[in-house]
Amino acid sequence: MRKKTFHEAYMETLYDIYYNPEYLNSPRGQKSKEQLNYHLTLENPIERVTYLPSRKTNIVFNFAEVLWYLSGSNNLDFISYYNKKMPLYSMNKKTLTGTAYGPKIFEFGNAKLNQWNRIKNLLTREDIDSKRAFIQIFDASELFVSGNIDVSCTIGLQFFIREDKLYMSSVMRANDAFRGMVSDLFSFTFMQELMARELHLEVGEYFHNVGSIHIYESDNEWAKTVLEEAKNHNGISAFEFPKMPTGNNWIFIETVLEYEALLRKDQISMSKQDIETLDLPEYWKQILLLFSIYQHIAYKRDMDHSLFQGLLPIYQFFVRNKWFNYFSTKQKEEI
């Protein structure tokens, strides 16, 4: 499959698996519709979201998850603050093993190999045409842990520089087409863009390769609702997903992560003005606005609507669509 945007790819993939599954089975006891050997080429990996209202994209979780990866953390508290289901995948209720891609990418194995820096050096200093720039995530030892409930679904991520563009290919052993695909493509293409901006390259295509792609029976009703809505949706969005600033963004990521932790632990609160005065590009300030809005939701506080007013229209759309109750009609009129 070749599509311009994630939205188009997601809808066609869901439709195909839902209505034309190759197999009906129950891996680890969970009934699913499945296809094997799925491939997708995304022509514009910056358009990494679906805008369909009934799918209720959680843009806050999407940014939080990729920043959790980039922080190198395996900490359950961090990510479960954004998704209450995460503890289900943790054996010790403190850390995640397979799902935490951060330690795999930045501190792989006993030698704590920083694969990200290694492949960056490989591509920039050694061999611009390299076909070795592969970051390994799944590792064989995961299948030897008895009763392991969290085995990495991603085998690895490969980067290619071809004709001044940075291409990326991911290989997954398994991908949940309804849920996992939304967050995985967001995170992987975000990492592709991060590397491309740092190397001053254009973002090339993104390739998604999956052994087993499936929809769980428990998601059938919701998936059907989404597919019904998609019939009357032309798929053309009024929004354009923001582009990350060119250059090295790591210093900004570190700042965002510092504030993210303080907000998550409820150790500070930030007004729109507090965020505006930070020495950060607008792209990263927007993410802090999202985290600050979410702090009000997570701690069940009255919303500070000026935070919402500071958001780009695309993020206002996602936040209002997901947490409608916090943004009443009255507020909508004022905005």
Contact flag: residue 180 with ligand 5HM (CB under 6 A): yes
Q: Are 68 and 78 in contact (CB under 8 A)?
A: yes
Long-range contacts, 17-23 (Cβ 8 Å, 24+):
17/177, 17/213, 17/214, 17/215, 18/215, 18/220, 18/223, 18/224, 18/227, 21/215
Task: Please give the structure tokens belonging to residue 264.
Answer: 């998550």
Task: Please give the structure tokens belonging to residue 62.
Answer: 């999407």
**Piece of 10-18, 149-157, 258-266, 270-278 that binds ligand 5HM (CB under 6 A):** 149-157
Which helix (H) or strand (E) segment is 117 a member of? helix 115-121
**Subset of 90-119 contacting ligand 5HM (CB under 6 A):** 98-99
Q: How far is the CB of 76 from ligand 5HM (least distance, A)?
A: 14
Q: How far is the CB of 210 from ligand 5HM (least distance, A)?
A: 8
Residue 101, C-beta contacts closer than 8 angstroms, at least 6 positions apart: 69, 137, 152, 154, 187
**Subset of 183-202 contacting ligand 5HM (CB under 6 A):** 184
Q: How far is the CB of 309 from ligand 5HM (least distance, A)?
A: 34
To the nearest 10°, the Cα dihedral for 119, 123, 129, 132?
Answer: -10
Distance CA 271, CA 286 (A): 12
Looking at beta carbons only, is 92 or 273 nearer to ligand 5HM?
92
Q: How far is the CB of 98 from ligand 5HM (least distance, A)?
A: 5
Task: Please give the structure tokens belonging to residue 246.
Answer: 């060119």
Looking at beta carbons only, is 5 or 152 nearer to ligand 5HM?
152
Q: How far is the CB of 150 from ligand 5HM (least distance, A)?
A: 7
Q: How far is the CB of 312 from ligand 5HM (least distance, A)?
A: 27
Distance CA 304, CA 313 (A): 17
Q: How far is the CB of 327 from ligand 5HM (least distance, A)?
A: 30
- Exposure on the CB side of residue 71, measured as CA atoms within 13 A: 21
Contact flag: residue 245 with ligand 5HM (CB under 6 A): no
Distance CA 259, CA 143 (A): 36
**Subset of 155-174 contacting ligand 5HM (CB under 6 A):** 174
Looking at beta carbons only, is 174 or 312 nearer to ligand 5HM?
174
Q: Are 157 and 169 in contact (CB under 8 A)?
A: yes
- Which position's Cβ is nearest ligand 5HM? 180
Contact flag: residue 153 with ligand 5HM (CB under 6 A): yes
**Subset of 42-101 contacting ligand 5HM (CB under 6 A):** 98-99
Looking at beta carbons only, is 94 or 165 nearer to ligand 5HM?
94
Residues that bind ligand 5HM in the complex, under the rule CB under 6 A: 27-28, 98-99, 151-154, 174-176, 180, 184
